[in-house]
Structure 1
Amino acid sequence: MVELLVQTQIAAVLIAFARIGTALIFLPGLGEMRIPGRHRLALGLILSLGLMPAIPVTPPEQTAQLALLLAREALIGLYIGAGARILFAALQALGAFIANVTSLSSALAAGDTGYEGSTAITSLLTMAGLALLFATDSHHLMLRGLFLSYELIPAGWLPLSDLTGQIARLVARSFYIAALMGAPFFLLAVVLNLGLGLANRVMPSMPVFFVAGPVNIALGLGLLMLASPAILAWFSDDFARFFLELRP
């Protein structure tokens, strides 16, 4: 009897860990590459043990059914973690766009939220976004969303078509956010290059490339300084909305 109870509890922890642990691999702030893998696994195990008594999970008796349930829960965790990461990628896309517009795309820096390199502006925006997540307690909101996801998607139920469509909408939303927040920089680039082109027509001897570079960088960084509070505030609200929707 005791052995059966222990097996049931272990299976319940594994089921909870399949969703929570998989999500923690991708969640911004909690699943960054700078955090060692063993620490992320330990955090996922601790959260699974803490949330397991409150999670409505009934382990199946057969091993095949348990393996299928674990696979479904892992896919749901992948959706939650990857969905949050897709939204966070809006800051990366915006940083790359601003760097190209302001002629700073060659100012490369180490990637802070991925294994690939990035521009200095991208690293600045992503680090500011991560700091904002913890400063506004959005990491608590992520954990709350993981717990409430069991009310929206109970254990054992996998609406694969709905999740696939939601991921596609999140990708579109991420690009929309990046494009909308980058619109002032695009307008700046159009106006600046148009003005320099007209100036070159009036004064053919003017060294346009030597003048355009410093002016473009100065105006771009000045606009970034003015727009960054609104950019980060909008991103924080949109990011929080994703986890607030993980409930009925």
Structure 2
Amino acid sequence: MGGGILAQLAEQWIYAVALIFARIGTATILLPGFGDQSVPPRAKITCGLALAIGLMPALPEPQVPDNTSLLFLMIGIEATIGAFIGLGARALMAALHILGAQVGFASGLSNSLTPNQANAESASAIASLLTMGAIAAIFLSNTHHVILMGLMRSYAILPPGQIMPGDLAQQIARLGGAAFYIAAAVGAPFYVLSLLLNLGMGLANRVMPAMQVFFVAAPGLIVAGLLLLAFAVPAILTYHNAELANWFETLVR
């Protein structure tokens, strides 16, 4: 009799962990820092499972359905919510890829491509630098604690077993627009720098047509862009980190 009750409790616990892991684990695989390209897949899964078991006592106990079909449906819904949280964070991280491409174009380094540590696709050297800096800032500023609190808070905003596809799609679209806004807002000084330097190069070419303006001014454009980037990087990472933390504090854009 006691063994049957124990086996039933163990079965219920395993199902509850599976439901929690469906959301927490899926989000962990996609979250910046936790689910980057450089992190081995086994480490991602292990981290997600450890977070699911560790956060389980602080989360509302999911109602495990008796029907197997309903159980798999709930797991699919929870995985969708986890993917929404992870993709939302990735959409905000994409702002640095957009910004890196813009800065590279403005400073003459757009053709300098390097393997990306966060995603599978390659990116400009400046975008890779900004992404690595943002991931380091997440852990140095304890924003990863805010990320974990956001995962826990998601159960109050998006209860287990309930999903609103239209709202989730609208939020992802807004986050995509926010990524372009962030890139444009923090990249404005580079647009001004590029405009002024290129106007100067055009005037110099008109005054001295025989001079090879491109070969003379291109190194200056690169140096000016890198100097401006060196001064702007702290403000860029601080602003981006604040936007990322705000997303996990509200999960609404």
**Residues 1:20 and 2:20 are matched in the alignment:** no
Partner of 2:112 in structure 1? 107
Partner of 2:197 in structure 1? 192
Letter in 2 for 1:157: Q
1:224 pairs with one of 225, 229, 233: 229
Give the secondary-structure state (helix, strand or coil) at the position aligned to 1:32. coil
**Residues 1:67 and 2:62 are matched in the alignment:** no
Letter in 2 for 1:169: R
Q: Report the CA distance between 1:230 and its aligned residue.
A: 1.0
Q: CA–CA distance in 2 between the matches of 1:193 and 1:35?
A: 41
**Residues 1:81 and 2:75 are matched in the alignment:** no
Letter in 1 for 2:32: P
Q: Report the CA distance between 1:204 and its aligned residue.
A: 1.1
Q: CA–CA distance in 1 between the matches of 2:26 and 2:66?
A: 23
Partner of 2:55 in structure 1? 51
Q: C-alpha deviations, 1:76-132, integer Å up to 9, x for none?
A: 000000000110111111111111111112222111111111221111111111110
Count of aligned pairs between the two proteins: 247
CA RMSD of aligned residues (A): 1.1
Q: Report the CA distance between 1:39 and its aligned residue.
A: 0.9
Letter in 1 for 2:31: L
2:42 pairs with one of 38, 43, 46: 38
Give the secondary-structure state (helix, strand or coil) at the position aligned to 2:55. helix
Q: Report the CA distance between 1:144 and its aligned residue.
A: 1.0
1:127 pairs with one of 117, 127, 132: 132
Give the secondary-structure state (helix, strand or coil) at the position aligned to 2:205. helix
Unaligned runs of 5+ in 2: none
Q: C-alpha deviations, 1:173-192, integer Å up to 9, x for none?
A: 00110111111111111111
Q: CA–CA distance in 1 between the matches of 2:21 and 2:238?
A: 32
Unaligned runs of 5+ in 1: none
Partner of 2:121 in structure 1? 116
Tell me the TM-score normalized by structure 2: 0.95
Q: CA–CA distance in 1 between the matches of 2:98 and 2:42?
A: 29
Q: CA–CA distance in 2 between the matches of 1:212 and 1:112?
A: 32
Q: CA–CA distance in 1 between the matches of 2:119 and 2:6?
A: 45
Give the secondary-structure state (helix, strand or coil) at the position aligned to 2:111. coil
What fraction of aligned residue pairs are identical, expressed as a percent?
Answer: 48
Give the secondary-structure state (helix, strand or coil) at the position aligned to 1:182. helix
Partner of 1:207 in structure 2? 212
Give the secondary-structure state (helix, strand or coil) at the position aligned to 1:84. helix
**Residues 1:145 and 2:150 are matched in the alignment:** yes
Q: CA–CA distance in 1 between the matches of 2:141 and 2:173?
A: 27
Tell me the TM-score normalized by structure 1: 0.97
Q: Report the CA distance between 1:2 and its aligned residue.
A: 2.2
Q: C-alpha deviations, 1:206-242, integer Å up to 9, x for none?
A: 2111112111101101111111111111111111000
Q: CA–CA distance in 1 between the matches of 2:49 and 2:122?
A: 31
1:97 pairs with one of 93, 99, 102: 102
Partner of 2:12 in structure 1? 8
Q: CA–CA distance in 2 between the matches of 1:110 and 1:240?
A: 27
Give the secondary-structure state (helix, strand or coil) at the position aligned to 1:33. coil
Letter in 1 for 2:179: S
Segments ≥4 residues shifted beyond 2 Å: none
Give the secondary-structure state (helix, strand or coil) at the position aligned to 1:180. helix
Q: C-alpha deviations, 1:137-174, integer Å up to 9, x for none?
A: 11111111101110111101101111110000000000
Q: C-alpha deviations, 1:1-58, integer Å up to 9, x for none?
A: 2222111111100000000000001100011111111111111111111122222211
Q: CA–CA distance in 2 between the matches of 1:86 and 1:50?
A: 27
